[in-house]
């Protein structure tokens, strides 16, 4: 073989080897590129998955939070509504009752991390905080629990400074009575939720105010003041007089009323003992409720019945004249006591002689009045008193008006 042929043969083999190596290198590069592309796709998929998982996690927490808030709403009766009550004023516009803006402390037990720590911190700010009861509330599976109602501004600021997660504040209204005890039985009082319990406060709720407040219709409305017929100046005087008389005569209770005889309006009405509507209940040192203090809630003027005494003689004599059983010239024998219905009726300072009808009234004769009542009879007597409204409950705005009592209808047998 010639030298030239040998050279060409070597070149040909070199070209084949280079081609093979090039082909192998190209294939290797292609495999690596495909691997990188596959890895890039995997990274993208993983990144997208991470984003999706994050969004799902955040969305789930938002849904859970929404349900927690709903549970909080369900735990209270319309807790987000800050409803108002109208002011109560006397006939001259003097303020008797009004609302004050307050805040109350609540907890979301589901967000409380360490109940012991929370109670310990709150107890340092809130006096008389019931440790075990508060701790129990913080351990409940609930979205809302009241911890303390109607805080002072200083207490709110101190609690805010603690920065405790899971507790917050809600605006509320607190009823305030500037006159204190002065017109307690007339104005009445409310409970911790500002619902009327006694007096005019209760009357207003009975007229539909409670329903309006529950629906939130009074939350932003400016309610017109409720004007009463009383004059707080006369009310203050009459209460002082009643309280002084009770102390002087060592009485269990006392009361007084001033009426406008032309209109029937009550200008003043006092019943003692009474209470402070700003603090209608008191707690004793042992933690029990002061029952003696709460006896002051009872309004003896409107919630009790009394014997009318000699004032009733006016109606009895009027009844006899109306029934035409007597005239002003009639004469009643009041010279000696009479027995009627098993009782002996006599005069306190009797004249011991026959009396005309004007004299029966003038000397307040029990004998003469009983004789006239006997002439009229039981049934006619009842009809007359019914016609005057004396046997019916008095029609007034004051709640708890007592129903008049009547004696048994056993026929009375008169014995002279």
- Give Cα 356 to chain centroid, integer Å: 58
152 — pLDDT class (breaks 50, 70, 90): confident
> How many angstroms separate the Cα of 400 from the Cα of each of 180, 242, 254, 302?
21, 22, 18, 7
Q: Tell me the per-residue pLDDT of 336-395, one tens digit each, with 9 for 90 and over.
A: 999 988 899 999 988 999 999 999 999 999 999 999 999 999 999 999 999 999 999 988
The whole-angstrom separation of Cα 121 and Cα 50 is: 40
Residue 200 pLDDT > 90, yes or no?
yes
Q: 46 Cβ partners below 8 Å, 6+ apart? A: none
Q: Are 175 and 189 in contact (CB under 8 A)?
A: yes
Backbone φ, ψ for residue 231 (5° rounding): -110, 115
The whole-angstrom separation of Cα 376 and Cα 303 is: 31
The pair of structure tokens assigned to 388 is: 């005057």
Active centre residues (catalytic): 310
Q: Which residue has the higher pLDDT, 85 or 4?
A: 85
Residue 189 pLDDT > 90, yes or no?
yes
Q: Which residue has the higher pLDDT, 136 or 7?
A: 136
| For residues 74-81, average pLDDT | 43
Please give the helix or strand (H or E) that residue 130 lies within, else none.
none
pTM of the predicted protein model: 0.69
Class of domain 309-415: alpha beta
- Give Cα 30 to chain centroid, integer Å: 83
Determine which of 21-35, 135-149, 240-254, 277-291 has the lowest per-residue pLDDT on average: 21-35
| For residues 227-247, average pLDDT | 97
Q: What is the DSSP string of 168-223?
A: EEEEEEEEE-TTTTTTHHHH--B-TTS-B-SHHHHHHIIIIIHHHHHHTTTSS--P
| For residues 25-29, average pLDDT | 54
The whole-angstrom separation of Cα 292 and Cα 213 is: 32
Residue 238 pLDDT > 90, yes or no?
yes
| Beta strands 88-89; 95-107: pairing state | antiparallel
Strand partners, 97: 88
Domain boundaries defined on the chain = 1-75, 88-226, 232-297, 309-415
Q: Which residue has the higher pLDDT, 50 or 287?
A: 287
76 — pLDDT class (breaks 50, 70, 90): very low
Residue 38 pLDDT > 90, yes or no?
no
Class of domain 88-226: alpha beta
HSE-up (13 A, CA, CB side) for residue 359 = 17
Neighbours of 7 (CB within 10 A): 10
Q: What 3-state class would DSSP assign to 255?
A: strand
Q: Are 88 and 235 in contact (CB under 8 A)?
A: no
Neighbours of 285 (CB within 10 A): 5
The CA-to-CA distance between both ends of the chain, in Å, stands at 182
């Amino acid at each position: 073989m010639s030298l030239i042929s040998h050279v060409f043969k070597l070149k040909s083999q070199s070209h084949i080897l280079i081609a093979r190596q090039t082909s192998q290198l190209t294939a290797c590069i292609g495999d690596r590129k495909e691997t990188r592309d596959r890895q890039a796709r995997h990274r993208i998929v993983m990144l997208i998955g991470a984003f999706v998982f994050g969004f799902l996690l955040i969305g789930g927490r938002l849904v859970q939070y929404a349900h927690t808030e709903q549970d909080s709403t369900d735990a209270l009766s319309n807790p987000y509504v800050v409803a108002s009550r109208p002011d109560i004023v006397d006939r001259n516009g003097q303020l008797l009752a009004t609302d004050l803006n307050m805040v109350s402390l609540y907890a979301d037990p589901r967000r409380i991390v360490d109940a012991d720590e929370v109670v310990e911190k709150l107890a340092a700010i809130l006096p008389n905080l019931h440790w075990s009861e508060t701790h129990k509330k913080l351990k409940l599976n609930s979205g809302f629990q009241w911890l303390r109602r109607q805080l002072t501004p200083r207490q709110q600021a101190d609690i805010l400074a603690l920065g405790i997660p899971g507790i917050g504040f809600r605006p509320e209204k607190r009823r305030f009575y500037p006159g204190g005890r002065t017109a307690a039985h007339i104005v009445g009082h409310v409970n911790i939720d500002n619902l009327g319990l006694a007096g005019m406060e209760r009357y207003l709720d009975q007229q539909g105010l409670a329903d309006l407040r529950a629906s939130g219709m009074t939350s932003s409305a400016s309610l017109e003041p409720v004007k009463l017929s009383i004059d707080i100046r006369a009310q203050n005087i009459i209460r002082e007089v009643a309280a002084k008389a009770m102390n002087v005569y060592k009485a269990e209770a006392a009361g007084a009323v001033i009426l406008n005889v032309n209109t029937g309006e009550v200008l003043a009405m006092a019943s003692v003992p009474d209470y402070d509507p700003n603090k209608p209940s008191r707690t004793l040192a042992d933690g029990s409720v002061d029952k003696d203090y709460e006896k002051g809630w009872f309004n003896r003027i409107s919630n009790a019945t009394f014997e009318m005494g000699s004032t009733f003689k006016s109606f009895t004599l009027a009844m006899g004249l109306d029934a035409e059983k007597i005239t002003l010239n009639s004469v009643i024998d009041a010279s000696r006591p009479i027995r009627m219905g098993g009782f002996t009726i006599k005069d306190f300072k009797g004249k011991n002689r026959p009396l005309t009808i004007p004299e029966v009234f003038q000397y307040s004769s029990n004998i003469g009045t009983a004789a006239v009542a006997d002439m009229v009879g039981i049934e006619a007597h009842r009809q007359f008193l019914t016609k005057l409204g004396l046997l019916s409950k008095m029609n007034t705005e004051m709640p708890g008006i007592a129903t008049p009592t009547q004696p048994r209808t056993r026929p009375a047998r008169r014995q002279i």
